[in-house]
Amino acid sequence: MRLGRALAGTAAVAVALGVVALGGAILAGPTLLGRAATEALRGAGLVGAEITVTDLRFADGWDGLRLGVAGDSGALADSAATLDLPLSGRVRLSGALVVAVGGGSVTVAPEDCLTATAEALTVSGQPLALPQGATLCAAAGGPLLRWSPSALALAAELRAPRLDAPSSGLSGEGLAVTLSQTGQGGAPVATDGAMADVMVVNATVARLRSTAKPAPFVPLAVAVTAERAGEDPWRITGTAKDANNLLNAALTGRYDPVARAGQVEAVTRPIVLPPDGPGLAAISPLAAATLAKASGTLSGRAIVGWGKNGLTTSGQATLKSVAGQAGPVTLAGVAGTIALASLSPLVIPDGQRLTIGLLDVGIPLTDGTLRFGYGRDGRLDVDQAQWRWAGGTVSADPFELSPTKPSGTVTLHADGIDAAKLLTLVKVEGLDATGSLTGTLPVTFAGDRVTIDGGVLEAAAPGTFRYDPAHPPAALSGEEGSPTALLLGALTDFHYDGLRVTVDGEAGGELVAGLSLRGANPSFYDGHPVALNLKLSGALDRILRQNLDVYRIPDTVRDRMTGSDHKDP
């Protein structure tokens, strides 16, 4: 309220100037008037203020006294305590004011708008810049000040083409701030039984944008109202929304001049991203750089606080049924609520939890749980990651990775993998197996490629492996004793003592599984032991025709199967 008193002090000076001027004070000259106005502002709290009256005459139409003025606030840091505002820097105003007396009151109105410039301006320690200057006008075409012994009314509007907050990475275009104060009979309100002045500030920003590239949010139109009654804290309300009204947030907050601290909370309504829509680019270019083709429902809240330690940000994000593409990795069914320790730069504290319906890194991992954090260094820090795969579980060693430029290897540990479900990945009719597998799957990230290199799964106990299609491919119907016929016969009911599967592949590409078997078919050549090495990467007829050289059958068994151990009569 002391800022209002400073302006009220200016009005009182203007009253005196107007009355005396109408009685012949023009003869006193501009110097005396400027000195009186300076002393009034300093007495009201602007301790370094300086007012110079450059011109003094009657206004056109004899409607009042016209004063050409040049004002300098002085160092605002010296006045911050008395004004109850966390300001520093310097503000200068120039232009012409018309002071009129009538009806027991005095009005002060700009002849046009006053020109304003700012030098090294900061609010709550945050630097602000007006690169194109600003203007100070009377709101709604009325007087800037109206004063009488029983009432005070202030109505000013500050307009700026652009306002920059470089340390926060923000820039606002089309700024308009109106300030009004009424009291002492103007429009008092009751506060604990007493009458109190009311000050209202309305601010709009036509286009608030982030200067970061890529930006964490799309440009927003912002409207804020701040009200204060007497010595109470300021109450803040408002809205922020993008041009398409997809990102729409309600703003609430408060500012305590005594503590010189405040905060504003923005709560978004649910944001629905359709599968065929623009994705995250519609609300956050930064998020879109990490997750493309995004769909699902998002909501959240952001908190911006300021005080003696400067500006702080935090928030929360909620995801429901989110899907998308993170480079070559496919995600679906992502859900959870995560805390945000900082919004600029983005920081997510460790221990946040998300559930993931599908993570395809070359193999389809489902029903996942992820516990993670995200640091100021731009790296994802995963403490726990576990999924279901092929009837078993896959868990990852703790790892760190950059979501935008992933590089490195994450080791997955597989346990309880069902051999039958694993073989369904190669989609070969008539192929079946029993048994449980364990092993490791190294997943390597290199730019836009995600590969599984040298994954190994081994059976914990004996089991069966069968390939017995109802209609064998023509390529496997060779003559009796041919390699393909022998192999098909051995696989119709193969009982293995050892089974080893190697897995290689690339996300978005083909999965290649190498298969090593040791065992026998009880009904095939007296159950003689056989070792088979196959590579499974598609239709089995093609697999077998291309890889007959990789399986091994002892020569004596081969001779018996082909009949070459019989001598001609």
- pLDDT over threshold 80, residue 303: yes
| Mean pLDDT on 410-426 | 87
pLDDT band at 27 (very low <50, low <70, confident <90, very high): very low
Bridge partner residues of 97 (DSSP): 67, 110
Task: State if pTM tops 0.95.
Answer: no
- Tell me the C-alpha distance between 372 and 405, whole Å: 18
Which own/partner pairs from 30-39 qualify as long-range (CB within 8 Å, at least 24 positions apart)? Answer: 30/54, 30/55, 30/56, 30/67, 33/67, 34/69, 37/10, 37/13, 37/69
At residue 259, the pLDDT reads 85
At residue 188, the pLDDT reads 39
Percent of the chain with pLDDT over 70: 83
At residue 203, the pLDDT reads 96
Tell me the pLDDT tens digit for each residue of 531-563: 888 776 543 333 333 333 333 334 443 343 344
Question: Nearest-CA neighbor of 523 among 498, 490, 569?
Answer: 490
Cβ neighbors of 81 (< 8 A, separation 6 or more) are: none
**Both tokens assigned to 56:** 């003094």
Tell me the pLDDT tens digit for each residue of 136-183: 999 876 788 887 777 778 889 999 999 999 988 899 999 999 988 876
Range with lowest mean pLDDT among 13-27, 210-224, 277-291, 494-508: 13-27
- Tell me the C-alpha distance between 100 and 110, whole Å: 11
Are the beta carbons of 438 and 416 closer than 8 angstroms? yes
DSSP-assigned letters across all residues of 490-532: HHTTEEEEEEEEEEEEETTS-EEEEEEEEEE-TTSGGG--EEE
Are the beta carbons of 495 and 530 closer than 8 angstroms? no
At residue 363, the pLDDT reads 75
Tell me the pLDDT tens digit for each residue of 187-200: 433 434 444 578 89
